[in-house]
């Protein structure tokens, strides 16, 4: 029975459940929780209160070595990839069912650790987590190889084989979902995995690994090492026994990972490294009010901490003033900061106080560069890392606020006069993750989508889609595609086998 979307609970219900939570602090290696070898620890802090939730085991290079060694043993003896596809499917479906049954607990961990409103975790993150695991579970026995045409004395087969041990390094904005976008295809393909979650949100993924084991997943197949990026993440990416690193995070770290690969074993490196997504509002769009509502959600959901956040709003000059007025009004109506445990809260804090400082510095820079803030940021008092939604007008493409990823609730509006100008503004950016066009003309939509330099494009919507949609970017947004079935084979390699049948 689904426990998700349990939004009839009140704030006091969730507070009582939070008080009774049993937070597991260990690393998860070889099927059980373990303390770090050197006994180090780090604080997991609730960004809504500034209070320490737990002291977490701090994984270091020696712990990464242990996790990879365990995963290698599991890989070599074939306890996972040599199972019949149906057996692996059963484990994956059991795993999804257990995640669903423990949805309230996982939602609480995510909400407390990262500050995401509980309603969002229940209605967005967890349903997507379940969809992802079940989608890739379904793929397991659908994968086929090929037999090519040969002379009668030969047989040539082409099959996909798993890579071995894969390392996954994930961010804090959707801790469970971004991990599962990697884990589900990695595991469905038959690999073993060592996951290094973001140190800002270390609570939920070890529990995910424990549920995998409870679901019948063999020990050592799915391991989690919490720790810092510079120590544990780097050790994983430099490891000679890791066949591939898959990553979602910053461009700067993505570049480092490519270097680590070259310095070690030339492991494959799959990167999703953020964006600065433009949304183009053409003068003939169908419904300005509906479009503005999506624009508001496209940047302020999850407090703007979204890789594909629609942070650059390019609005035809004829709509500009009306657009800005409505955008400001709707933002004030829709986004109320509050305790993330309160089901009525629509705006949580940023994931950490350090990140709040980064976002504030970028807004200060925008003002210093000459942009005008029309959605003012009231000073929040109290211990939480809250940041009010901000909108800047009068920005231009040479400003950092237009070019750099803020990863917070900050949007810019730029007016344009022609389609060509809109496309030039949209594409004049180092990122290319996502983009959208709002127009009622099919020809305009086709023309503009084809001209946009982005891996994911939307027409008359933003953020819509399902598991059939490959998610990843052009340019400095990375080289990988999550979600879509091709993600499964991206964690596999091709083996060609030529059989001489003469004797
Ligand atoms: P952000 O700045 O949004 O926190 P990062 O790219 O720094 O994004 O972090 C994303 C993930 O990359 C986290 O799990 C983090 O620990 C990890 N990470 C950070 N630095 C490194 C590094 N030098 N090597 C490997 N992983 C890293």
For ligand 1, is residue 233 a contact (CB within 6 Å)? Answer: yes
Q: What is the pLDDT of residues 95-111, one digit of tens each?
A: 999 999 999 999 999 99
Q: Ligand 1 in contact with 196 (CB < 6 A)?
A: yes
27-40+53-273+480-495: CATH homologous superfamily?
Aldehyde Dehydrogenase; Chain A, domain 1 (3.40.605.10)
Indicate the pLDDT class of residue 5, thresholds 50, 70 and 90. low
Query: Considering Cα of 377, then 378, then 383, then 389, what sign does the dihedral take?
Result: negative
User: Would you call 272 a catalytic residue per the annotation?
Assistant: yes
Atom of ligand 1 minimally distant from the CA of 248: 10
- pLDDT at residue 336, as a whole number: 84
Q: Is the pLDDT of residue 473 over 80?
A: yes
Reported confidence tier of residue 3, pLDDT bands at 50, 70, 90: very low
Q: Whose CA is nearest to atom 19 of ligand 1?
A: 229
Cβ(170) to ligand 1 under 6 A? yes
Per-residue pLDDT band for 502 (boundaries 50, 70, 90) equals: confident
Could you tell me the CATH superfamily of domain 278-466? Aldehyde Dehydrogenase; Chain A, domain 2 (3.40.309.10)
C-beta 297 within 6 A of ligand 1: no
Instruction: Supply the pLDDT for residue 383.
Output: 85
pLDDT for res 379: 62
Q: Which residue has the tokens 């084989």?
A: 161
> By alpha-carbon position, which residue is closest to atom 13 of ligand 1?
198
Reported as a single tens digit per residue, the pLDDT across 362-421 is 999 999 999 999 987 666 677 899 999 999 999 999 999 999 999 999 999 999 999 999
pLDDT score for 209: 98
Nearest CA to ligand 1 atom 9: 249
pLDDT at 378: 65
Domain assignments of the chain as residue spans, ordered by start: 27-40+53-273+480-495, 278-466
| Residue 406 beta carbon below 6 angstroms from any ligand 1 atom | no
Instruction: Using the atom order of ligand 1, give the atom closest to the CA of residue 196.
Output: 14
> Lowest mean pLDDT: which of 197-211, 379-393, 422-436?
379-393
Residue 2 has pLDDT above 50, yes or no: no
- Checking if the pLDDT of 88 tops 60, the result is yes
- Give CA–CA dist 232/108, Å, rounded: 26
Burial code (b: 16+ CB inside 10 Å, e: under 16) for 382-399 equals eebbbbbbbbbbbbeeeb
pLDDT of residue 6: 59
Whole-number Å distance, alpha carbon 123 to ligand 1 midpoint, is 27
pLDDT tens by residue, 174-200: 999 999 999 999 999 999 999 999 999
Distance (Å, rounded) from C-alpha 56 to C-alpha 34? Answer: 11
Looking at residue 8, its pLDDT comes to 82
pLDDT tier at 139, thresholds 50, 70, 90: very high
Range 28-45 average pLDDT: 98
Quote the percentage of the chain above a pLDDT of 70.
Answer: 98
pTM: 0.97
pLDDT, tens digit, 9 for 90 and up, residues 222-266: 999 999 999 999 999 999 999 999 999 999 999 999 999 999 999
What does the pLDDT read at residue 28?
98
Q: How many CB atoms lie within 10 A of CB 221?
A: 26
> Could you give phi then psi for residue 36, rounded to 5 degrees?
-70, 145
* Integer Cα distance of 277 and 291 in angstroms: 16
253 CA to middle of ligand 1, Å? 6
- When pLDDT is averaged across residues 466-492 and rounded to a whole number, the result is 97
- Nearest residue (CA) to ligand 1, atom 14: 198
**How does DSSP assign 206-220, residue by residue?**
HHHHHHHHHTTPPTT
pLDDT tens figures, 123-132: 999 999 999 9
Phi, psi of 307 (to 5 degrees): -60, -45
Of these residues, 272, 405, 419, 453, which one is catalytic? 272
Q: Is the CB of 249 under 6 A from ligand 1?
A: yes
The whole-angstrom separation of Cα 463 and Cα 382 is 33
Considering only CA atoms, which residue is closest to atom 21 of ligand 1? 229
Residue 1 predicted with pLDDT over 90:
no
Residue with CA closest to ligand 1 atom 15: 229
Atom of ligand 1 nearest to the CA of 237: 25
Task: Judge if the beta carbon of residue 356 lies within 6 A of ligand 1.
Answer: no
> What sections of 115-250 are H helices per DSSP?
118-120, 126-139, 175-188, 204-214, 234-238
**Is the minimum distance from the CB of 229 to ligand 1 under 6 angstroms?**
yes
Residue 225 near ligand 1, beta carbon < 6 Å: no
Q: Is 256 in the pocket of ligand 1 (CB under 6 A)?
A: yes
323 Cα–ligand 1 center, Å: 36
Ligand 1 nearest-atom number relative to CA 197: 14
Q: What is the mean pLDDT of residues 458-479?
A: 97
End-to-end C-alpha distance for the chain, whole angstroms:
58
Q: Do domains 27-40+53-273+480-495 and 278-466 have the same CATH topology?
A: no
């Amino acid at each position: 029975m689904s426990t998700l979307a349990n939004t009839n609970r009140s704030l006091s219900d969730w507070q009582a459940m939070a008080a009774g939570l049993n937070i597991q602090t260990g690393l998860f290696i070889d099927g059980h929780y373990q303390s770090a070898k050197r006994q180090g620890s780090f604080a997991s802090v609730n960004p809504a209160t500034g209070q320490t939730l737990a002291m977490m085991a701090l994984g270091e290079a020696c712990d990464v070595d242990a996790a990879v060694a365990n995963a290698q043993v599991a890989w070599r003896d074939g306890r996972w990839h040599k199972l019949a596809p149906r057996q692996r499917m059963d484990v994956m479906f059991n795993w999804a069912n257990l995640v669903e049954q423990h949805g309230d607990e996982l939602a609480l961990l995510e909400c407390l650790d990262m500050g995401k409103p509980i309603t969002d975790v229940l209605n967005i993150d967890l349903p997507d987590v379940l969809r992802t695991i079940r989608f890739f579970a379904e793929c397991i026995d659908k994968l086929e190889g090929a037999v090519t045409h040969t002379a009668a004395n030969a047989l040539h087969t082409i099959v996909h084989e798993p890579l071995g041990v894969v390392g996954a390094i994930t961010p804090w904005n959707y801790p469970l979902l971004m991990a599962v976008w990697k884990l589900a295809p990695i595991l469905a393909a038959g690999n073993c995995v060592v996951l290094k979650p973001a140190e800002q949100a270390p609570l939920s993924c070890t529990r995910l690994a424990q549920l995998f084991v409870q679901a019948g997943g063999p020990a050592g197949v799915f391991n989690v090492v919490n720790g810092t990026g510079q120590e544990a993440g780097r050790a994983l990416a430099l490891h000679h026994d890791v066949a591939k690193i898959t990553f979602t995070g910053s461009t700067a770290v993505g570049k480092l990972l490519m270097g680590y690969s070259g310095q070690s074993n030339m492991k494959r490196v799959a990167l999703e490294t953020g964006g600065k997504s433009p949304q183009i509002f053409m003068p003939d769009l169908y419904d300005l009010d509906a479009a503005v509502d999506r624009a508001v959600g496209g940047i302020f959901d999850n407090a703007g901490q979204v890789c594909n956040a629609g942070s650059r709003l390019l609005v035809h000059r004829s709509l500009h003033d009306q657009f800005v007025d409505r955008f400001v009004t709707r933002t004030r109506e829709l986004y109320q900061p509050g305790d993330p445990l309160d089901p009525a809260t629509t705006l949580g804090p940023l994931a950490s106080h350090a990140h709040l400082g980064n976002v504030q510095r970028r807004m200060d820079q925008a003002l210093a560069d000459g942009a005008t803030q029309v959605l003012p940021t009231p000073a929040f008092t109290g211990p939480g890392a809250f940041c009010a939604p901000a909108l800047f007008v009068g920005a231009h493409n040479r400003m950092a606020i237009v070019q750099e990823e803020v990863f917070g609730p900050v949007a810019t509006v730029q007016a344009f006069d022609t389609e060509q100008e809109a496309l030039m503004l949209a594409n004049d950016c180092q990122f290319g993750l996502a983009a959208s066009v709002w127009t009622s003309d099919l020809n305009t939509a086709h023309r503009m989508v084809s001209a946009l330099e982005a891996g994911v494009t939307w027409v008359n919507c933003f953020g819509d889609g399902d598991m059939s949609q490959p998610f990843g970017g052009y340019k400095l947004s990375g080289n990988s595609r999550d979600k879509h079935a091709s993600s499964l084979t991206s964690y596999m390699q091709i083996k060609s086998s030529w059989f001489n049948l003469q004797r």
